[in-house]
């Protein structure tokens, strides 16, 4: 029983030492503040894209004459992509693009994925 306890304690000590060394290597390659700043930028972009997607989708659903529930909205770095599995008229496509363009933070709108009648 004593041998097992000594072996377990040794294994634990070695594991902690190895984990410590691995952690030290990963944190010394890049300054922690720089790493945190990069992660914050990604989080802000993600939040902005999510907000834009939600706002565009909401405005499309509430617009009369637009099949908002059938239009898929995706946003990547402020560029909104509209697509659908159902056909829309040219007027509906134009209106959907106009709705997306008026949202704050939208840099461009692609409606290539909207099927025309």
Angle 82-56-84 (CA atoms, 0-180°, nearest 5)?
25
Domains of the chain, residue spans: 1-30, 43-116
Q: Is the pLDDT of residue 52 over 60?
A: yes
Burial class for 109, CB neighbours closer than 10 Å (0-12, 13-18, 19+): buried
Residues paired with 72 in a beta bridge = 83
- Determine the Cα–Cα distance for residues 34 and 17; give it in Å rounded to an integer: 26
pTM above 0.85, yes or no: no
Q: Is the pLDDT of residue 117 over 90?
A: no
More confident site: 91 or 11: 91
The CATH architecture one would assign to domain 43-116 is 2-Layer Sandwich (3.30)
Query: To the nearest whole percent, how much of the chain has pLDDT over 90?
Result: 56
Q: What is the pLDDT of residue 65?
A: 92
Confidence of residue 115 (pLDDT cuts 50, 70, 90): confident
Region of 105 (left: φ > 0; alpha: ψ -120 to 50; beta: rest) is left
């Amino acid at each position: 029983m004593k041998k097992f306890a000594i072996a377990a304690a040794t294994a634990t000590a070695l594991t902690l030492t190895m984990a410590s060394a691995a952690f030290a290597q990963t944190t010394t390659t890049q300054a922690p503040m720089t790493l945190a700043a990069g992660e914050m930028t990604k989080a802000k972009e993600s939040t902005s894209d999510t907000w834009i997607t939600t706002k565009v989708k909401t405005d499309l659903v509430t617009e009369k004459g637009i099949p908002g529930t059938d239009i898929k909205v995706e946003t990547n770095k402020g560029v909104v992509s509209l697509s659908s599995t159902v056909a829309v008229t040219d007027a509906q496509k134009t209106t959907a693009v106009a709705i997306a363009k008026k949202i704050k933070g939208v840099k461009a709108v692609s409606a290539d994925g909207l099927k025309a009648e």
